[in-house]
Amino acid sequence: MKLLAPLRVLMPFAVLVAIWWGIKSGAQVPDKLLVAPPAVWASFVYLVTHGILAEYASASLRMIGLAAMISFVIGVPLGFAVGTNRYAARALEGTLRFLQGISGIAWLPLAILWFGFSNTTTLTIVIYTLIVPIVFNTMTGVRAIPENYVLALQSLGAGRLRIVRDVYLPGALPSIVVGMRLGMGYGWRALIASEMLVRQGGLGDLIFSARTFSQIDRIMVGMVVIGTLYIIVDRLLVQPIETMTIARWGILRR
């Protein structure tokens, strides 16, 4: 059964490719609108062997990594500060929801006016997109911690720092991880969109430049890589941390 698991995951992808190929050859779609899977594969091999894909993909990965780090370092303490203060939490909840409504992409025009067509623009957009769910989820996580945990620890003689370390941090961790995971999803999308406009490298730039020369094969390679990299980052990095904290502490089964 274990051997069948990867097959179950890959099966729908195979179906997708089959449909794509079927439409291409069945309806005789011209090459300037859609190319067949072998052409995309050939393009992929070309981009890999010439180091082009590595360059663009690593630019995107570096950017999301940097943005994630900065967002985490700023967002988590901010979420804590807001979450432990009842009045601040109530006051900021509406603002955060409002900001969640304005996607990072909607900030692009303003960011471009401020920072030009530069990596700073992209970084700003991605950090903005990542940080809102991180702050929001950290705040929610902190606020969901039962008051008794804190009171009990105070009665055991714990000071403020101790309570942050022993109660707030571990108590909010699963929620922080959820925020990170959501943020990475939103951030990755915003990153690609920003790269398409800013044109300073990255997978978004790759596929948007390919459009200029109608390189459909290249666009499709880029899209597949964008999706694949997201899955890899999410499944191999973020999800294991989430499962670990939730399963071990039984947060959901209290």
Residues lying near another protein in the complex (CB under 8 A) are found at: 146, 148-149, 151-158, 162, 166-167, 170-171, 248-251, 253-254
Is the distance from CB of 83 to CB of 138 less than 8 angstroms? Answer: yes
Is the distance from CB of 170 to CB of 141 less than 8 angstroms? Answer: no
CB of 182 to another protein, least distance (A): 22
CB of 250 to another protein, least distance (A): 3
Task: Indicate the residue among 171 and 204 with the shorter CB distance to another protein.
Answer: 171
CB of 79 to another protein, least distance (A): 18
Cβ atoms within 10 Å, residue 47:
21
Helices (H), 4-85: 4-26, 37-49, 52-83
Is the distance from CB of 45 to CB of 34 less than 8 angstroms? Answer: no
Task: Indicate the residue among 49 and 148 with the shorter CB distance to another protein.
Answer: 148
What are the structure tokens assigned to 7, written together? 């097959």
Q: Which residues contact 248 (CB under 8 A, 6 or more apart)?
A: none
**Which residue type occupies 38?**
P
Which residue, among 190, 201, 178, 194, has the nearest Cα to 230 in the 3D structure? 190
Task: Indicate the residue among 154 and 215 with the shorter CB distance to another protein.
Answer: 154
Task: Indicate the residue among 173 and 191 with the shorter CB distance to another protein.
Answer: 173
CB of 245 to another protein, least distance (A): 8
CB of 149 to another protein, least distance (A): 6
Task: Indicate the residue among 50 and 162 with the shorter CB distance to another protein.
Answer: 162
CB of 77 to another protein, least distance (A): 20
Task: Indicate the residue among 162 and 199 with the shorter CB distance to another protein.
Answer: 162
Cβ atoms within 10 Å, residue 166:
15
**Which residue type occupies 254?**
R
**DSSP symbols for 185-198:** HHHHHHHHHHHHHH
